[in-house]
Structure 1
Amino acid sequence: MAVEADPWHTLVAELLDRSHLWRPEDLGGVLDRAAAPLGLRMTVWVADAEQRSLRALAVPGRATPAPLPIDSHAAGSAFAMVESVVADGRRWVPMVNGTDRIGVLEVEAPGQTARDESLARPCETLAGLVGHLITTSLPRGDSLHLARRSGPMTAGAELLWQLLPPLTVSVADFTVAAVLEPAYDVGGDAFDYTVDGRRPQFIVLDAAGRGLRAGLAAAVALSCIRATRRSGGDLPAQARAADGELLRQFPDARFVTAVLAELDLDTGVLRYLNAGHPPPLVLRAGAVVETLTDGRRLPLGIADPRASCGEVTLRPGDRLVLYTDGVTEARDAAGEQFGQNRLADTVERHAVGLPVPETLRRLSHTILAHQSGPPTDDLTLLLVEWSAGAARRTVPPTSRADERQE
């Protein structure tokens, strides 16, 4: 006996079937057509690189709407808080790939109420699928990249963005998120992490200078660190590998400052190397409790055989902040630097009740607003929160409920 397919299952099946052969620009139209039999109209909105606006993917036969501001629209609230929002007869559903925020799925329900809670779970599941499909379709062409941009990108920025991991990843007991500005003209800054096993690693780099040459130096250092790490090398070995390759590739003695850190989740011990970089901060219960000044060595690209790791013991709930000097040295019109104290205060002010990536988004915009004129240096922030609650806040609400029941 034939079994009648559930209409949501049919929608998902059609989306997946079409995704094998589609061009990236087809996604918006395929989704909207597949949703029509359910009496729904759908629009995919993706966050731009600077995370200020949401931009709609094109749907054939429809005018593409203007971008929506993240800071002052219901769609932006859904994106920021990773929670569905119902407003103006629409359901705005957060769209993530894993825990990396991609954008928002707009669901219009003509003839029925968008507040119907029976829509919550299937819409969040569908939004998650669309987030995955956007991520896997990005390498096929330029259209999805362009949809996420409000302006042209420099060659140095193109190089670095292709090397970086997602801006956010969460596992059961911690979240790590990063932000990089200016998004379209970044040159020498970069970040990396690995969340495998019980000893995750976190890295922030800052290559001397700006532009493509700085981006190339950052790429060399990042690639050496990854290759050595994946071959089983510890933090000092990773730094030495970067030293050697930077010396070979850049006879002009180009160097890279960096922090390489590894957290033992079983003991709380954080081991770290600081290669000429601003000192990381440890925040606990709303205050800076450690400024990590040990483990110092010369910048990457300058051999330092005497280098050794620093150590500090963290507690669950602590936050670790890694940053480049473009953060603390950002100056206002009077020449006042943003500074380390203001950085710590702003992290704590924005961290109350917010997902970790939203804390960083708001922090980066606060730093940019502090500056007088365009940024004179790249700024990169990486924030780790060792907390199961932090991890849960980066997934949609129905997924949080499912995890609590396990």
Structure 2
Amino acid sequence: MTVRGERCGVLVVVLPSDLATPGATEELADIAETLGHALRVADRHTDLYRRTRRASALSVPAEMQWGLLPGQGCADAGFDLHAYWEPSYTSGGHVLDWCVTEEELTLVVANSTGTETPSALVGNLALNAIRNARRAGLDLVGQASLTDQALYGQHRGERSLSALLLSFARDTGEVRVIDAGSPTVWRDRAAVTERIDLERQLPLGMFEDTVYAAQRLRVLPGDRLVFVACDRGEPPPGGDTALDRPVRRAIERTRGTACADAPRAVVRALREEAPGELPDDVLVLCLDWHGRRSAE
């Protein structure tokens, strides 16, 4: 048995061909699941594992962010989902969340202005409001509305959150989406990369009692969606052309990259494609959609 490497916090173990029997693979999967649960429980009672994961000290906003976000990846029979953000150790403005059920995958990608503590506080309030609404059974519009009210009630429009909220029906690939700000979503389908044009609505918390409406899309097995959130302010109606071209080229350059490695690869390619154009504060999330393969 050899360890091939670590990607996005996932340790990849390769069994020799003579040992890679179905029984051995199933046994190792059970061990891995048990170990994962044990580490998850232990993580609540000690700082040992969190300290080990860090290459350097975090800023206070980053500490708030790391403690709030669900992680950097989630894999399922129907999809692969992975994220990467910079600066990882000093940023506090990125907001990322997902929830998986048998029926749907819900996803939030957002960016609060700046990287300091006020931005982290905005993101913290927004994400807890979204989770509260979701766990209360509210749909996507209800989640956006409750979060909008929570942010406006606290900041009276002085601080807002640019966000994309999405809900994927796992059986059909139908997507409901609310575009409330500047994060963009790109689709790579059949070797064609294009930005999905959405009806942009007001950022969450900008005005009192904003009315939001969900749009509908559809994803197909084999689609790759790439979400890009960075602090460049609100783009013009036609999109941020100065950034759109390098984003498209970066996604095309990394098309053959595994989903777990794609977000970091896209950020690196963007730095090369548009030197000096990309803000220091950037979040990239990659979603590879497989469809309901578990039903086959």
TM-score (norm 2): 0.81
Distance 1:181 1:342 in 2: 17
Distance 1:358 1:367 in 2: 14
Q: 1:280 to 1:262 in 2, by over 3 A?
A: same
Which of 109, 113, 124 does residue 204 from structure 1 map onto?
109
Which of 244, 254, 258 does residue 340 from structure 1 map onto?
244
Give yes or no for the alignment of 1:383 onto 2:289.
Answer: no
Distance 1:283 1:348 in 2: 8
Which of 173, 194, 197 does residue 292 from structure 1 map onto?
197
Q: 1:157 to 1:371 in 2, by over 3 A?
A: farther
Q: Give the superposition deviation at 1:125.
A: 5.8
Distance 2:16 2:167 in 1: 45
Give yes or no for the alignment of 1:275 onto 2:180.
Answer: yes
State whether residues 174 and 216 of structure 2, in contact with CA within 8 Å, keep that contact through their aligned partners in structure 1.
yes
Q: 1:232 to 1:130 in 2, by over 3 A?
A: closer
1:360 counterpart residue number:
263
* Amino acid aligned to 2:99: T
Q: Give the 5 Å matches for 1:242-321.
A: 242-251=147-156, 253-289=158-194, 291-294=196-199, 296-303=200-207, 305-321=210-226
2:238 counterpart residue number:
none
Distance 2:272 2:90 in 1: 17
Gaps of 5+ in 1: 1-39, 41-73, 81-99, 107-113, 330-336, 392-402
Distance 2:251 2:192 in 1: 10
Equivalent position SS for 1:78: strand
State whether residues 278 and 325 of structure 1, in contact with CA within 8 Å, keep that contact through their aligned partners in structure 2.
yes
State whether residues 328 and 338 of structure 1, in contact with CA within 8 Å, keep that contact through their aligned partners in structure 2.
no
Distance 1:126 1:229 in 2: 32
Which of 73, 78, 82 does residue 5 from structure 2 map onto?
78
1:101 counterpart residue number:
9
Distance 2:45 2:265 in 1: 31
1:37 counterpart residue number:
none
- Per-residue Cα deviation, 1:161-194 (whole angstroms, up to 9, x for no partner): 1111121112221122222221101111111111
State whether residues 230 and 279 of structure 2, in contact with CA within 8 Å, keep that contact through their aligned partners in structure 1.
no
Q: Give the superposition deviation at 1:305.
A: 3.5
Q: Give the 5 Å matches for 1:1-400.
A: 77-80=4-7, 101-103=9-11, 117-118=18-19, 121=25, 126=31, 129-251=34-156, 253-289=158-194, 291-294=196-199, 296-303=200-207, 305-326=210-231, 339-352=243-256, 354-368=257-271, 376-387=279-290
Distance 1:181 1:132 in 2: 29
TM-score (norm 1): 0.61
1:52 counterpart residue number:
none
Gaps of 5+ in 2: 235-240
* Amino acid aligned to 1:101: G
Equivalent position SS for 2:203: coil
Rg (Cα) greater in structure: 1
Aligned residues: 284
RMSD after superposition: 3.4
Identity of aligned residues (%): 27
Distance 1:210 1:253 in 2: 16
Q: 1:132 to 1:180 in 2, by over 3 A?
A: farther
* Amino acid aligned to 2:68: L
By relative contact order (CA 8 Å, sep 6+), the higher-ranking structure is 2
State whether residues 165 and 178 of structure 2, in contact with CA within 8 Å, keep that contact through their aligned partners in structure 1.
yes
* Amino acid aligned to 2:86: E
